Structure 1
């Protein structure tokens, strides 16, 4: 169903490391996000939305190409993205949009298109080709730090020390960060967005509005640092001891033994798995504070659209790259195979009048990050590239469930050695064996490894996924069934970029 509005603006909001089970509208106790609640009431919220991969680079590659990781193969941060694949930016350009980007995509370029001295090979990731940066954060954060300095703030010798606590020891803390709320990265992203939308108000525009939060360092400015009581936070879902959790699988043990707090709290040390429940609750209270800070700034963005008469001409998509363990299973970050890393938020506000009947609805069907690109392209009436593995979610906003909709989700994780993590030697896996794939539905979760034992969870009996039953003979038939589901999925979604073309006596033919 095509949009009938005169204007067709698109605001794609991509936050970083926001767990999908932490949305006030979906019932998260105590979380204050009134502006996102309003967006949920005005749109459709997808309860069971999953990213295809973690961490940031692979997740954003899937988000912006519509491809499963098994096809795009940008399998880890720092791993290049093949230049032969199109992406949302390139496709929007075909429809006359100048796709603007605030934030980052953590994309390493195809080395066959440039030389080894390209500066993009010396950083974690850069901007994906096809987008025009109007507020780039990665790889150097230089524009952000220059903005802080221009505001009169004296930066430390290491600018990233602004994320150390203003008081107390590094680690999980209720201390505020060094910066006032007016100078945080969240404020900067918002200022860039308002500036861009003001300048673009005389044409159809697309904006990828990225926010760094609630990504670590887990430090919040006043008043967000003390907005939530740690005692009120949910405790972590985990076994009685880290050793008991580690016994479930060698990969789980590797991360329990190797994830350090310094990646989450500026200047801290010690293993993340050593954090006691009190420290985890403090961390979660700060995480909530960072979420509310983003929500306050989204209120500024939404108010601007309403005040300038663009609210009813703008498709708004709110989503994320991946989740965050937050101490669940004795883990920090986004790793492995647990839902906390892979379940992410998805809210779509379709401004079309025919979507009025579904405003405020919650969809329980399984949806995936590869569905984002087809959704946006369908809304502007553009062709969806054959390469895309996902399907448009627009029908849900019009009150229709698309035919043959998926009944399960699939996601992947690659744990090969990169410069900041080296599991291969510990686990005894070769580079191209260091991977896993998951198939999950309402009842069971199957995790297949290329060179390590599988995992199987009975989600009805064990929703916290604490007990691996892959070795239980009673589950052997089910494990075989889900392994076959995995094989079916891989066969169906093998790269299909050119498989719809064929030569014939009549010349080149195409088939959808």
Structure 2
């Protein structure tokens, strides 16, 4: 059987809301089983704590400031190499079931004459994936978000004739009088969705993934199964809607000291509507009930999927990558949503199951090596035997750790955030070009460079909950300076020369290459040219300059 990869991504799944990562009440035995079969990378950070730019880094293996898709709906520019672009020349079918949050570079495609419905146009528009079924899981009424016709048809087949079943069935509840209660309103989060479990989004997209695997035949494949939950709207069907009551909820990680003279950017985000909502204990309790139920539903579907792989005889030749695009504050640090760099937001689960015999010695390992989202692409590429392309891919393959040959692969993890699209920028009076944050974490110190403001600094050794910002404390100026040096070193990386590799440059005969082509720069006469050639190639010193005219 050929090698295959199943690349599973959840949306907005916190790193610590699995039993294998320490949650005391939310039991996820099927995901735990993946950790037992592979390596759990316990300190993995995304390249941006928001959907679009994070995913573009997952798919390109490049930092946000390299690929340029800095926020949701900012296109990934035509020409950026993606996972599919690296795998297709190897004969690997690279497909999508679920979400990418990709926005196509329509202007760039038009400029290059690429028709959106052409073979290459589709791939460019879909992040390099064959769209077996794309479903970004955001289909409210309105022109901005096109509906998923396949899911609509599925729901109609199940007896739902609603015009928009995503909105009114899968993500809404119903009261005793038959009134529809929108899942967008957080007060409805503890009610069961109108959809039955088997009709809802997570089982549906699992079914579609199994359809792909069953149809794939002997062609090696990489399937990106991208779940759209536990991302909001926070609502889940029965029986998951009331599995996790308040007695199972963790207290919010926050302290009043965080709001005493906070960093201006952090303080502005705590004033956002969603942050205020999560500071209401009643609202938070309802949301956590749904959030935990959504994760339990995902775990059950992972169980179905793994059983299907076993039935298909694919388990022993399929690498499995399980992760999330970012976390969810859930009221921690007086915040909701994501977007800043506390672990609740920027740290994600990452489990890699490598079926290769070389990985047998590390099965069940919980690695504390710093890993990044951009490491997924080179890890998959190496699994399929692809050549390294470090001038394009900035991530690092995880095989040295998977195969027990190394304990670490980097000194610092880096994450970036462009908040220019947020009202926070306007309230702070920050210019668009300056609305940038960059986080660097070295395993102890988490440093956030904030353009135009002082830095933020947290010591996760003495303050693992990240409650005390040391960025304004003169006693830690030296630490801030050291972390700033890491930032300076990182910004000096060469990331835009992607058309030619270092190896190509190394192989060029820079000393005499141009002279061999007849371009003679710096030579005073023909004797000097012949002397230069004789020094490196004494048996063949005849050049274009010495040939006689016919």
Same fold (TM over 0.5): yes
Q: Counterpart of 2:93 in 1: which secondary structure?
A: coil
Within-5 A mapping of 1:321-340: 321-340=325-344
Q: 2:401 aligns with which of 390, 396, 400?
A: 396
* 8 Å CA contact retained: 1:238, 1:245: no
- SS for the counterpart of 1:384 is coil
Q: Among 100, 111, 115, which residue is 2:95 paired with?
A: 100
- In 1: Cα distance, 2:279 partner to 2:443 partner: 32
Alignment correspondent of 1:486: 487
Alignment of 1:49-60 (within 5 A): 49-60=44-55
Give me the whole-angstrom Cα distance separating, in 2, the residues matched to 1:158 and 1:188.
13
Q: Is the 8 A contact 2:446 2:458 kept in 1?
A: yes
- Cα 1:160–1:470 change in 2 (3 A) is same
CA contact (8 A) 1:186 1:213 kept: yes
TM value normalised by structure 1: 0.88
1:424 alignment partner in structure 2: 425
Look up the SS of the partner of 2:423 in the other structure.
coil
Residue deviations 1:280-313 (CA, integer Å, cap 9, x gap) = 2332232111111011111111111111111101
Q: Which residue of 2 aligns with 1:466?
A: 467
Q: Deviations over 1:396-423 (max 9, x none)?
A: 2211216x72132111111012xxx333
d(CA) in 2 for partners of 1:288, 1:300: 19
Aligned-pair CA distance for 1:506 = 5.8
Matched, 1:292 2:293: no
1:217–1:431 CA distance, 2 compared to 1 (3 A): same
Change (3 A) 1:23 1:499: same
Tell me the CA shift for residue 159 of structure 1. Answer: 4.2
Compare 52-61 and 328-337 and name the one that shifted more: 328-337
Once the two structures are superposed, what CA deviation does each residue of 1:85-141 show, in whole Å capped at 9, x if it has no partner?
A: 21101111111112110112112223222279x999xxxxx9534211111113533
Q: Label 1:333 to 1:246 Cα distance change in 2 as closer, same or farther (>3 A).
A: farther
Q: Is residue 84 of structure 2 the alignment partner of residue 89 of structure 1? A: yes
Contact 1:257-1:273 at 8 Å conserved across structures: no
What CA RMSD, in Å, does the superposition of the two structures yield over aligned residues? 2.4
Asked whether 1:248 is paired with 2:262, we answer: yes
Quote the offset at 1:158 in angstroms.
7.2
Instruction: Please tell me whether the aligned partners of residues 438 and 450 of structure 2 are also in contact (alpha carbons under 8 angstroms).
Output: yes
Closer, same or farther: CA 374–492 of 1 in aligned 2, 3 Å? same
Q: In terms of mean alpha carbon deviation, does 496-505 or 87-96 score higher?
A: 496-505
Partner of 2:520: none
1:227 maps to which of 220, 229, 243: 243
Q: Matched residues in 1 for 2:345 and 2:490: separation? A: 21
Bigger shift: residues 19-28 or 84-93: 19-28
Residues in 2 aligned to 1:182 and 1:92: alpha-carbon distance in whole angstroms? 33
State the shift of 1:50 in Å: 0.8
Q: Does 1:33 align with 2:28?
A: yes
Matched, 1:109 2:114: no
Structure 2: how far apart are the matches of 1:214 and 1:483? 35
Q: CA, structure 1 residues 443+204, in 2 after alignment: closer, same or farther (shift >3 Å)?
A: closer
Alpha-carbon shift at residue 499 of structure 1 (Å): 6.2
Q: Distance in 1 between matches of 2:62 and 2:513?
A: 29
Which runs of structure 1 show a deviation greater than 6 angstroms over 4 or more consecutive aligned residues?
A: none
Structure 2 residue 173 is matched with structure 1 residue 165: yes
Aligned to 2:521: none
Shift of 1:370: 0.5
How far off is 1:377 after superposition?
Answer: 0.4
Residue 264 of structure 1 is matched in structure 2 by none
Aligned counterpart for 1:213 among listed residues 219, 229, 253: 229
Mean alpha-carbon deviation: is it higher for 278-287 or for 405-414? 278-287
The Cα of 1:44 is off from its aligned counterpart by: 0.9
Work out whether residues 19 and 343 of structure 1, in 8 Å CA contact, stay in contact via their aligned partners in 2: yes
Change over 3 Å in CA distance of 1:507–1:349 after alignment to 2: farther
Partner Cα distance (2:158, 2:312) in 1: 27
Q: Contact 1:231 / 1:281 at 8 angstroms: preserved in 2?
A: no
Match of 2:530 in 1: none
Counterpart for residue 44 of structure 1: 39
Q: Distance in 1 between matches of 2:36 and 2:166?
A: 40
Deviation for aligned residue 1:482: 0.9
2:213 match: 197
Q: Distance in 1 between matches of 2:156 and 2:125?
A: 24
Q: Which stretches in structure 1 are left out of the alignment for 5+ residues?
A: 1-5, 121-125, 262-270
**Using the alignment, how far apart are the partners of 1:479 and 1:202 within structure 2?**
54
Check the 8 A contact 1:44/1:349 in 2, yes or no. yes
In the other structure, the counterpart of 2:128 is: 130
CA contact (8 A) 1:106 1:127 kept: no
Residue 9 (structure 1) aligned with residue 15 (structure 2): no
Alignment partner of 1:313 out of 298, 314, 317: 317
Q: Is the 8 A contact 1:236 1:280 kept in 2?
A: no
Give me the whole-angstrom Cα distance separating, in 2, the residues matched to 1:367 and 1:434: 26
Report what 1:344 is aligned to: 348
How far has the Cα of 1:505 moved from its partner?
4.3
Give distance in 2, aligned partners of 1:29 and 1:274. 23
Q: Distance in 2 between matches of 1:490 and 1:108?
A: 26
Q: What's the secondary structure of 2:452's corresponding residue?
A: coil
